């Protein structure tokens, strides 16, 4: 069997009892970064063998690993933080296992965008998850798509690109569109800033951010009145 096991996005206590048990019982743990995962496993006194499985090798190793699982091996897949497959490696191995007729179980657990969305103060009954935006090709298209959504949109971003992304969102969505920026979720310096896109861009330009970041952008209220989001300056901001 293949188990997809969520791991903490911050505090090491944010893991289920079932996850700890399975990580200790399987024959092998596939980890995005074995050095990062070793910290978690050592904390819970888990000594299961580790093997690297990341975006640079999953194309070559997924089929072989699925065949090994089909022959009787029990394997757990973990990422550095959160649920495998959500902006992390996982899809290719799951697809390979499905083709081999291997049973796959995904455990419930930590995912960074859920607490960020709920904590944002924006509607969370319906939402759209974008993940990481393309850095160059296709970025303009994705920003325009986000600007036209009626539901709250969720974006993962690097601290080094946060200000630029907020400025681009303000250009295409309107400077007064409400948003939130959550960082260091479940860690000691966890922080959520709320305001308009222009206010958030100005804040983080003055106070450079650190840590993993989740942006939540309010849905487009103008669509209800038939108005379209502005895109005048978007092309100038795309690099």
pLDDT at 157: 97
Angle between helical axes of 139-147 and 162-173 (0-180°, round to 10): 50
Let me know whether 216 and 151 are in one domain. yes
- Give whole-number Cα distances, 219 to 37, 81, 122, 166, 177, in Å: 36, 28, 9, 15, 8
pLDDT at 226: 54
pTM confidence score: 0.88
Tens-digit pLDDT profile for residues 83-112:
999 999 999 999 999 999 999 999 999 999
pLDDT for residue 230 is more than 80: no
| pLDDT confidence band for 232 (50 / 70 / 90) | very low
Tell how far CA 185 is from the center of its chain: 12
Tens-digit pLDDT profile for residues 178-205:
999 999 999 999 999 999 999 999 999 9
Let me know whether 95 and 124 are in one domain. no
Let me know whether 81 and 145 are in one domain. no
pLDDT at 224: 56
Let me know whether 158 and 215 are in one domain. yes
Residue 157 structural domain: 113-237
Distance CA 47, CA 23 (A): 9
Number of domains in the chain: 2
pLDDT at 228: 53
Let me know whether 39 and 73 are in one domain. yes
Let me know whether 150 and 92 are in one domain. no
In this structure, the number of other CB atoms found within 10 A of the CB of residue 1 comes to 15
Let me know whether 151 and 198 are in one domain. yes
Of the chain, the end-to-end C-alpha distance in Å amounts to 44
Instruction: Give the residue ranges of DSSP H helices in 44-90.
Output: 58-70
Let me know whether 100 and 149 are in one domain. no
In this structure, the number of other CB atoms found within 10 A of the CB of residue 127 comes to 18
CATH label of the domain that carries residue 143: 3.30.950.10
Tens-digit pLDDT profile for residues 24-71:
999 999 999 999 999 999 999 999 999 999 989 999 999 999 999 999
Per the model's pLDDT, the better-predicted residue between 174 and 226 turns out to be: 174
Q: Which residues pair with 132 in a beta bridge?
A: 156
154 CB contacts (<8 Å, ≥6 apart)?
A: 113, 116, 117, 127, 128, 129, 130, 214, 215, 216, 217
CATH label of the domain that carries residue 16: 3.40.1010.10
Q: Comparing C-alpha atoms, which of 182, 178, 175, 134 is closest to residue 159?
A: 182
pLDDT at 86: 93
pLDDT for residue 2 is more than 70: yes
Let me know whether 142 and 160 are in one domain. yes
104 CB contacts (<8 Å, ≥6 apart)?
A: 1, 2, 3, 4, 94, 97, 98
| pLDDT confidence band for 222 (50 / 70 / 90) | confident
Counting residues of the chain whose pLDDT is more than 70, the rounded percentage is: 93
**Averaged confidence pLDDT in the chain:** 93
**Radius of gyration over every alpha carbon of the chain, rounded to an integer in angstroms:** 20
């Amino acid at each position: 069997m293949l188990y997809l096991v969520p791991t903490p996005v911050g505090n090491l206590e944010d893991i289920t009892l079932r996850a700890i048990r399975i990580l200790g019982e399987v024959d092998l743990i596939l980890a995005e970064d074995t050095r990062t995962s070793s910290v978690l496993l050592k904390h819970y006194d888990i000594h299961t063998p580790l093997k690297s499985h990341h975006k640079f090798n999953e194309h070559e190793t997924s089929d072989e690993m699925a065949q090994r699982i089909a022959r009787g091996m029990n394997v757990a897949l973990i990422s550095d933080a959160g649920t495998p497959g959500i902006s992390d490696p996982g899809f290719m191995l799951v697809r390979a296992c499905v083709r081999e007729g291997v049973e796959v179980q995904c455990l419930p657990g930590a995912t960074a965008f859920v607490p960020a969305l709920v904590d944002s103060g924006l509607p969370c009954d319906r939402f759209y998850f974008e993940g990481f935006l393309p850095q160059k090709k296709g970025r303009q298209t994705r920003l325009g798509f986000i600007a036209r959504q009626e539901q709250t949109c969720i974006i993962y971003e690097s601290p080094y690109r946060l200000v630029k992304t907020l400025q681009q969102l303000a250009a295409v969505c309107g400077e007064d569109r409400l948003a939130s920026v959550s960082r260091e979720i479940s860690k000691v310096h966890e922080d959520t800033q709320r305001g308009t896109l222009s206010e958030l861009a100005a804040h983080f330009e003055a106070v450079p951010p650190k840590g993993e970041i989740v942006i939540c952008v309010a849905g487009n209220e103008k669509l209800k009145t038939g108005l379209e989001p502005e895109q005048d300056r978007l092309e100038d901001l795309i690099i």
